[in-house]
Amino acid sequence: MAAADNPDFITQNGLPRHIAIIMDGNGRWAQKRFMPRAFGHQAGVKAVRKIVEHSANKGIEVLTLFAFSSENWRRPKEEVSLLMKLFVETLKREISTLDKNNICVRFIGDRSAFPDTLQQIMTEGEARTKDNKALTLVIAANYGGHWDIAQAFQKVVDKMATGELTKQPISPLLVSEHLSTAGLPDPDLFIRTGGEQRVSNFLLWQLAYAEFYFTDTLWPDFNQNSLNEAINSFKGRQRRFGHTGEQILNKSASFQP
């Protein structure tokens, strides 16, 4: 269900239900220290651990992290292999901790491009943690917003061809239900670290009504306080979803979600 259609778009305590993050700046963080980019990616993994734990403790429902984009294959071969290796090692090491902490892990993106071993780790990790309730951690790997929308249409077309779905006009809800994020609320808060102010083909459909937060902090330096600052900025905003400010203020009287 899209946040824009959902009357419960903010939890009672004003926290975003779903935070989506483009974790950018690992390379520059390493370069500033005259170290290879790999060093920055390793430091980035440590920041991931902190932010996942902090999000679960704060009561965030869904955290989506952009780990590898469909465009990142364009990087030098050595960097791509390093990122794959880091991904495999991190998952192998962390899945049991995530499971112990009651965190449900889900991967979005075209995983068919990954080595079989990695695909297997992903599938097993999802199966092992599927009933966990503290936080849903969504890892976007070989993900692209264009890919996501295209694969949703492909699914709908295929289902209509086989009769699994009756022929019907394509509605936004039907598209949402076939995106890789089906069943999850849309992001309320979108964060990008590293100073760039662009979406880089992340959750194009799902970010329709997200609040955007950009920070110059490089991802390895992003910590619990940085996340608190982003959430505080979110709390200070008035989400109108097309309504007027007055309608939102007098919600009880006239607000029609």
Catalytic pick among 72, 101, 201, 223 = 72
Instruction: State the minimum distance, in angstroms, from the CB of residue 141 to ligand IPE.
Output: 9
- When asked if residue 193 is in the footprint of ligand IPE (CB under 6 A), the reply is no
The H-or-E segment that residue 150 falls in is helix 145-162
4, 53, 72, 235: which one binds ligand IPE (CB under 6 A): 72
Residue with Cβ nearer ligand IPE (195 or 257)? 195
Query: Segment contacting ligand IPE (CB under 6 A): 63-71, 84-92, 102-110, 232-240?
Result: 63-71
Rounded CA-CA distance 187/208 in Å is: 9
CB neighbours (10 Å) of residue 56?
Answer: 20
Is residue 24 close enough to count as binding ligand IPE by CB under 6 A? Answer: yes
Please, what is the minimum distance in Å from the beta carbon of residue 143 to ligand IPE? Answer: 8
- Helix pair 116-129, 77-100: axis angle to 10 deg: 20
> How many Cα atoms are found within 13 Å in the side-chain-facing hemisphere of 14?
11
Q: Are 188 and 17 in contact (CB under 8 A)?
A: yes
CB of 200 to Mg ion, least distance (A): 8
CB 61 within 8 A of CB 17: yes
Instruction: Tell me the β-bridge partners of 212.
Output: 190
24 is catalytic: yes
Stretch that binds ligand IPE, among 3-11, 68-76, 121-129, 228-236 (CB under 6 A): 68-76
* Binding residue for ligand IPE, selected from 9, 15, 27, 231, defined by CB under 6 A: 27
Binding to ligand IPE by residue 23, rule CB under 6 A? yes
- In whole angstroms, how large is the CA radius of gyration of the chain? 19
Q: Closest CB to ligand IPE among 37 and 155?
A: 37
In the three-class reduction of DSSP (H, G, I as helix; E, B as strand; rest coil), residue 138 is classed as strand
- 187 part of the interface to ligand IPE, by CB under 6 A: no
Q: Which of 5, 6, 8, 24 is catalytic?
A: 24
* Rounded-to-integer distance, Cα 191 and Cα 218, Å: 12
Between helix 224-235 and helix 37-58 the angle, nearest 10°, is 60
**Of the listed pieces 111-119, 149-157, 163-171, 195-203, which binds ligand IPE according to CB under 6 A?**
195-203
- Six-digit token pair at 251? 């919600």
State CA 225 to chain mean position distance.
20
Residue 144, interface with ligand IPE (CB under 6 A)?
A: no
Which residues form the interface with Mg ion (CB under 5 A)?
24
So which residues are the catalytic ones?
24, 72
Interface with ligand IPE (CB under 6 A): 22-28, 66-69, 71-72, 83, 194, 196, 198, 200
